[in-house]
Amino acid sequence: MLKPLTTTLSSLCLGLGVRIHHVYFTNQCDLIRCQHQQHVFPNNIAHISADGTHQDPNDVSKATLIWRAIKLPIYSVALVPLTVGGAVAYLQTGLFSARRYMTLLASSVLIITWLNLSNDVYDFDTGADKNKKESVVNLVGSRSGPLIAAYSSLALGFIGLTWASADARNMRSLLLLGCAIFCGYVYQCPPFRLSYQGLGEPLCFAAFGPFATTAFYLLLGSTREIIFVPLTHTVLSASVLVGLTTTLILFCSHFHQVEEDIAVGKMSPLVKMGTERGSMVVKGAVLTLYSLLFGLGLCKALPLTCIVLCALTLPIGKLVVNFVEENHKYKSIEVG
pLDDT digits (tens, 9 = 90+) for 160-173: 999 999 988 888 99
Is 138 a domain residue? yes
Rg (CA), the chain: 21
The DSSP-derived string for 171-186 is HHHHHHHHHHHHHHHH
CA distance 48 to 45: 10
Q: Dihedral through CA 10, CA 13, CA 18, CA 23, nearest 10?
A: 170
Q: What is the pLDDT of residue 329?
A: 66
Residue 1 lies in a domain: no
Has residue 265 been placed in a domain?
Answer: yes
* pLDDT (mean) for 115-127: 89
| Residue 272 belongs to a domain | yes
- Number of domains observed in the structure of the chain: 1
Is 186 domain-assigned?
A: yes
Q: Are 128 and 61 in contact (CB under 8 A)?
A: no
Q: How far apart are the first and last CA of the chain?
A: 58
Q: Answer yes or no: is 42 within a domain.
A: no
Residue 64 is assigned to a structural domain of this protein:
no
Give pLDDT tens digits for 262-298. 888 888 898 898 888 988 999 999 999 999 999 999 9
Looking up residue 201, the CATH number of its domain turns out to be: 1.10.600
Q: Is residue 69 part of a domain?
A: no
Give dist(CA 336, CA 331) in Å, integer.
16
238 vs 240: CA distance, rounded Å: 5
Q: Examine the pLDDT at 41 and tell me if it is beyond 50.
A: no
- How crowded is residue 138: how many other Cβ atoms within 10 Å of its Cβ? 18
CB environment 271-293: b (16+ within 10 A), e (fewer): bebbbeebbebbbebbeebbebb
* Domain interval for residue 255: 17-27+75-331
User: Over the stretch 153-210, which tens digit does the pLDDT of each residue have?
Assistant: 999 999 999 999 998 888 899 999 999 999 999 998 999 999 999 999 999 999 999 9
Q: DSSP strand E in the chain: where?
A: 47-48, 54-55
Task: Classify residue 52 by its DSSP letter.
Answer: S
pTM listed for this prediction: 0.80
